[in-house]
Amino acid sequence: MPDLTTNCAGITSPNPFWLASAPPANSGEQVQRAFDAGWGGAVWKTLGQPIQNVSSRFGGLHYQGTRAIGFNNIELITDRPLEVNFREIYETKKKFPKHAVVVSLMVETREEWKEIIQRAVDTGADGLELNFGCPHGMCERGMGSAVGQEPKVNERITSWAVEFSTIPVLVKLTPNVSDIVPHGLAAKRGGAHGVSLINTIKSIIAVDIDRFVPEPRVGNLSTNGGYCGPAVKPIALHMVAALARTPEFGLPISGIGGISNWRDAVEFMLLGSSSVQVCTEVMLRGYRVVEDMLEGLEEYMRTHGFAKLSDLVGKAVPAYSEWGDLDLNYETVARIDAQKCIGCQLCVVACQDGAHQCIHADPHGTAVGPAGARVPRVDDAECVGCNLCQIVCPVPGCIQMAEVDNGFAAATWNQHVGEGAKIRPKKGVH
Amino acid sequence: MSKSVTDDRTETAFQDFKHAYSPEQAVVEANRCLFCSDAPCMQACPTHIDVPQFIRKIATGNLRGSARTIFEANILGMSCARVCPVETLCVGACVCNTLGVPPIQIGKLQRHATDRAFEAGTRFFEAGPPSGKSVGLVGGGPASLAAAHELRRHGHACTIYEKRSVLGGLNTTGIAPYKMRADRSALEADWVLAIGGIEVRTGVEVGAAPTLAELERAHDAVFVGVGLGPDTALRVPGEDLGGVHGAVAFIERLKLGRVALAGVRRALVVGGGNTALDGVRELLGLGVPEVTLVYRGKEAKMPGYRHEWSAAKQEGARALFQHLPVAFEGAGKVERARLVRMDDQKKPIAGTEHTVEADLVLVAIGQSTLGGLLGALAGIRIADGCVAIDADGFTGRKGWYAGGDCANGGKEVVNAAAEGKAAALAIHRYLTGGAHA
């Protein structure tokens, strides 16, 4: 049985699945139900000076009948009294001593940070998460992403927190920057024990096209919100990996951003996350989603021979490279399995209109399969191996990108420019 | 405008066999469509409706555009959505069948889009500027309606000559009522006529008055879409007894008026085609306790659609395969049918005659052809009773075109719609100095 015991920046939990700081981790009653359901940890909904929220707080990005592939919110930090939150954190930690309870914080002045950190530490919590990421509302008051976007401010406040805290400090980074690395390094210079990322992305989720108001609509106005959910995962994966592959960074990472299932979690771990945080999927479907996350991760580790999480954390990081180091002589072409092809010809139209015009309808071809004369033909001499056909094909495994031995030794662009390495002739240029 | 049908009709006892989609159901189904390129469903449709395109428009909420896509290809798209044997056409061709998942319910989606357009009274097409040319259309069924609409888009004046008091042909008088009732077809005819400039003359027997010569003189071109003639008779003793009916005539009566079925206990429907299967299902649906299909061949060789026969069996149909009636017996009214068993070559087996009780018989062994109507016109060739035409519907006689059942021998409404439109486009080319001039 693989060991899912997690240690992220010194914060331990029975498994790597933590609730992210958000509505699902708003109260003791919720977090305790989540732990009962199987969650390994929770980052409490951000504490700070009490706020007042608006009505109409969330918006969904729906795509071709699938609800909320993206999600955004204009909700602020906790609106519950601090003392209630601290008492419930204490009670939760008492009941679940092995689970990770991390307290997310967001205040302004050094004195405020000192006081709130002291109170948070006194609850028995396992760690702190500094919310330097929120891109709506709080940033207008000089907090949240307003801190995370300024490396010097980030470093200074992080150093205060580390000074006042006796438990590990995670800095939650905002993705609303052009390059995440300086911001991670700022947190490191401030003494952070780890980082968590990404926070939400500044966004307008939709526009009410009848009322001419963006969503979520508050009366006749709206504001930008924080974007999250499955659609942001690629952005989050990149930012996690960008830090993980920076040699001078080296801090533990708690990965966040569109994690909806165990596969997503594995991807974040392979790119360097030692724990993962989930919000949107729980908001949409409840705590019960963790059951499959746990089983799926265990089964993945078992079938891949990973005994413990540290065996897989970061395993794909070395394969994240620069474009100039990619092998230009590596060649693939599309292969259509006529036995699996259903004849929809989505690959034909995608290749003709969106790629390199190498897949053709082939009514007089020799392909034998259930789709008969509708099985398309790939012109190998023109196929650049772009993958578009495989991406649009609705039949799993029908289109494979087959490796071609073209007789050329591996050669990267950098080797070509620097050492005159020989590269193969271009394909699909007509 | 056509006269609408009476409200007092036996067929109103039936509900739609396939329920209409709610808007939510339609969007869910529309989103399943893969949006195939050069889609097999589109190829399978005789009118080549751009199915993926109209379905995508349902998914995005562009229902008006969806209906426009359908009607652009087939002005009878509302009725075809209900009456097409989609299982053997578009739905049967859907790639989802190959994928092993349920095929997209194209007919129901088409109904969703076209019904909304009817409800909203949306009109998509306008008559073209007057060409000064006139076209006479013989028969007021789907082929002529589709042809007349297309001709009006090009500005040609149209006159439809119809024998009955209602338009729509078999779409009005013959469609199984659980697919579409007569009032819906009459409504569609009115909807088509609303393009304007189509004169309708009902109660007209072309050939007698006007004569073909008068018709040819009165118009610059003629389209013949007269459909098929009366039911074919078995020509056996007792066929003239009360209670023995031609199936098409009987179905027309139950669709346009009332048929008396009280007291009927055992009905026989003779034949193996789709009219026979419709007759079986309609009698069962109207409460006849025992309905038996009598077909001279084997079950597997029945020309009727498999899905229709499966449905009939589920509804309680019985069958006597490899049997043929040789006589009907009774005192003034049918009481028994005398049947003989048939061998594998559909020949009677001597000594196998026997009787079965029957108090109602529908004979559904085909309809006569009307091609002979045109037989006297030089240049027009009649083959197996049908008017011979080329791909454009051209008969060979200058200015004369044909389509629908009278030319194809009896196919679907959608075939008639396709042939009528194709002929109209050919007539337009002819009238403007192009082909066949």
Task: Choose the closest CB to B38 out of A361, A370, A395.
Answer: A361
Size of interface A-B (CB pairs under 8 A): 38
Helix pair A28-37, A290-304: axis angle to 10 deg: 40
- List CB contacts (< 8 A) between A346 and chain B: 34-37
Is A346's CB within 8 Å of B36's CB? yes
pLDDT-derived band at B437 (thresholds 50, 70, 90) equals low
**Which residue of B lies nearest to A352 if distances are taken between CA atoms?**
B37
What would the pLDDT profile of B33-86 be if each residue is shown by its tens digit?
999 999 999 999 999 999 999 999 999 999 999 999 999 999 999 999 999 999
Residues B158-186: what's their mean pLDDT?
97
Write the pLDDT tens digit of every residue in B390-431. 999 999 999 999 999 999 999 999 999 999 999 999 999 999
Percentage with pLDDT > 70 across chain B = 99
**Is the CB of B59 less than 8 angstroms away from the CB of A65?**
yes
> Would you call B99 and A342 a contact, using CB atoms and an 8 Å cutoff?
yes
Query: Could you give phi then psi for residue A68, rounded to 5 degrees?
Result: 55, 55
Distance between terminal CA atoms of chain B? 32
Angle at B363 between CA B85 and CA B174, to 5 degrees: 40
Q: Which residues of A are catalytic?
A: 134
Residue B340 has pLDDT above 90, yes or no: yes
At residue A258, the pLDDT reads 98
Spans of chain A, pLDDT less than 50 = none
The SS3 call for residue B246 is strand
Q: What is the mean pLDDT of chain A?
A: 96
In 3D space, the residue among A45, A53, A133 whose CA is nearest the CA of residue A89 turns out to be: A45
Mind telling me how many Å the CA of B119 is from chain A's nearest CA?
A: 23
The per-residue pLDDT for B4 is 77
CB atoms within 10 A of CB B280: 32
Residues B197 and B148: beta-carbon distance below 8 Å: no
Q: Domains, chain B, ranges and CATH?
A: 16-120 (1.10.1060.10), 134-229+369-431 (3.50.50.60), 244-363 (3.50.50.60)
pLDDT at position A88: 98
What rounded mean pLDDT belongs to chain B?
96
What pLDDT does A141 receive?
A: 83
CA B208 → CA A426, B204, B370, B373, B378, distances in Å? 76, 9, 14, 10, 18
Residue B1: predicted pLDDT: 46
**Maximum Cα–Cα distance across chain B:** 70
Q: State whether A345 and B31 contact (CB < 8 Å).
A: no
Element (H, E) at B136: strand B134-138
Query: How many whole angstroms separate alpha carbon B3 and alpha carbon B1?
Result: 7
Tell me how far the alpha carbon of residue A177 is from its chain's centroid: 16
Q: Using a CB-CB distance cutoff of 8 angstroms, which residues of chain B are in contact with residue A343?
A: 36, 40, 95, 98
Which residues, in sequence order, are bridge partners of residue B415? none
Instruction: From chain B, pick out residues whose CB is under 8 angstroms from the CB of A67.
Output: none
What is the chain A residue with the closest CA to B58? A64
Predicted pLDDT at A222: 96
Residue A415 has what DSSP assignment? H
Contact at CB, B38 and A345, closer than 8 angstroms: yes
Mean pLDDT, residues B120-143: 97
> What does the pLDDT read at residue B3?
59
Is B34 close to A348, i.e. CB distance below 8 A?
no
Alpha helices by DSSP H, A15-150: 28-37, 82-95, 110-122, 145-148
Domains of chain A: 6-319 (3.20.20.70), 323-419 (3.30.70.20)
Q: Is B196 buried (19+), middle (13-18) or exposed (0-12) by CB count in 10 A?
A: exposed
| Size of chain B, expressed as the number of residues it contains | 437
> What are B134's strand-pairing partners?
B157
**Which chain A residue lies closest to B97 (C-alpha atoms)?**
A342
Closest CB to B37 among A64, A349, A394: A349
